[in-house]
Structure 1
Amino acid sequence: MPAEPRQVEAPERLWRVERATTALRFSRISPVDAESDRAGNRFDVPGGGVLYAASDPRGAYAETIAQFRPSALVAELDAEGLEPGRVPYGALPREWRASRRLRALQLVDPRPFVDIDHPATHAFLTREASDVLRALGVGSLDIALVRGPSRTLTRALAGWVYTRVDEHGQGCYSGIRYSSRIGSQECWAVFDGTAVRLVSELDIGRDDEALNEVATQLDIVVS
């Protein structure tokens, strides 16, 4: 029996961290930027919008504060001393927290999501999206490639899933379920065409339990 992609339902409530001034803003990327591994996000779709969210606040924080992780080069620079007033590397600035909110959202009548991490999905895409994979020099899809550094590949897969339609011309899927590359947090790339509703929003305090749990794991100090 031919493999089918693993399809899953999103939780009733999803979470994301975003700027206070832009609630539930879908990410968009140009066709030119989509060809660069340095631009955009993992599952951005040229010509479409994608809203990124996580199953719980920890996942939302992990995806957004990872940029503040210290590196070996940064540690060497810090050892030479900080300039007055400069935030230490490996610290989450207070200004960053003040300018962002933790928001909960719901999806309205969503369609299934494709679990991009599942072996059945890899087998299905290897067969059905073979032209996409061949163009990128990929013979067989697996988890190492899906979670690897090539955004060109993951965006091409997202674009293929995004353009699948049923007999009525409606999109077959509401998006992609994936695991964060930062850890094992469950994340969701929601395609435009799926209605989203804001449920609640919270200021991000220094004593936020989920934030501090993730920051400790990533060796980041919350300022």
Structure 2
Amino acid sequence: MAEVPLAPVSTPSDGLWRVGRKTNPLRPSRLDPSGDIQFDGNGRIREPGRYDGRQHGTLYFSSDLEGCFAETLATFRVSAALKEDALSDEREQKNLKRAGVIGTTWREGRSIVHVHPKRQEGFLDIADAATLAALSDILRPELADLGIPYLDLGRVMSPNRKVTHAIAKWAAGAVDADGNPLYTGIRYISRHGKNWACWALFHRTEFEESVDEIVQEIDDRKDVPRDCPELLRIADLFGLTIE
């Protein structure tokens, strides 16, 4: 594949943060090859990661710990509809009390991880106007199939994961003249606010056999304490209760 004139960016010098499941906090996520709908341990549909792929795995990070909690706790936010219904419905008032609670089990099942990608440069900046314009041309057939005229921030931050999966598939597969990967991953802005920069790090099994080959842990893994300042700030922002 010919080299594409897209200027990549580098990760912060002080590393990246992640809140992951304690059993394997650095486990990459990927799309199921079968295309079947996946379910989590509670029987709910598991929404795929924004930049997951079938041919590559993806690890998601934030530039700071607060961003990690914003990304992981957003699913606990109480809907506007439930709040509105609770004003006049006693049953919904009870549901409202149970909603928005971060249980002890959730905290005890997570670890805080601080890492440096072993290749800190080479991240595609998806919020860059020139990158969006170039990808609109590169991915023209895929976008046409999806009924999308061009890429903009609204489309790459929308719930339509088919768009971002197409971007990830191209970026993870792009190589230089010597067959080496062009891009380490993708930098993007959290859809929960421009406050947080997020990073999707590709794990390509044809180039890296293990996750240890793409990240180096800076500190020891930590538990998530109830009084973690970043956790408390996001809980307050999202109206959540920490048990």
> What TM-score comes out, normalization by structure 1 length?
0.89
Match of 1:203 in 2: 223
CA distance in 2, matches of 1:63, 1:191: 18
Q: Deviations over 1:137-156 (max 9, x none)?
A: 22211111111110011111
Please tell me the residue identity of whatever aligns with 1:119.
A
Please tell me the residue identity of whatever aligns with 1:208.
C
- Contact 1:34 1:46 (8 Å CA) reproduced: no
- Cα offset for 1:82? 4.1
Match of 1:23 in 2: 25
Please tell me the residue identity of whatever aligns with 1:186.
A
What is the aligned residue count? 219
- Cα offset for 1:222? 1.3
Where does the alignment leave 5 or more consecutive residues of structure 2 unmatched? 39-44
Over 3 Å counting, the alpha-carbon distance change for 1:38 and 1:154 in structure 2 is: farther
- Contact 2:11 2:121 (8 Å CA) reproduced: no
Q: Deviations over 1:82-108 (max 9, x none)?
A: 49xxx8211111111011111111111
**SS of aligned partner of 2:55:** coil
CA distance in 2, matches of 1:209, 1:79: 34
Please tell me the residue identity of whatever aligns with 1:16.
R
Where does the alignment leave 5 or more consecutive residues of structure 1 unmatched? none
The RMSD of aligned alpha carbons is: 2.5
Over 3 Å counting, the alpha-carbon distance change for 1:56 and 1:164 in structure 2 is: same
- Aligned pair partner of 1:128 in 138, 143, 146: 138
The answer to whether 1:68 aligns with 2:76 is yes
> What TM-score comes out, normalization by structure 2 length?
0.82
CA distance in 1, matches of 2:23, 2:64: 22
- Aligned pair partner of 1:191 in 202, 224, 237: 202
Q: Deviations over 1:100-151 (max 9, x none)?
A: 1111111113441001111111111112221222222222111111111100
**SS of aligned partner of 2:179:** coil
Over 3 Å counting, the alpha-carbon distance change for 1:38 and 1:95 in structure 2 is: closer
- Cα offset for 1:45? 1.2
Q: Identity of counterpart residues, as a percentage?
A: 34
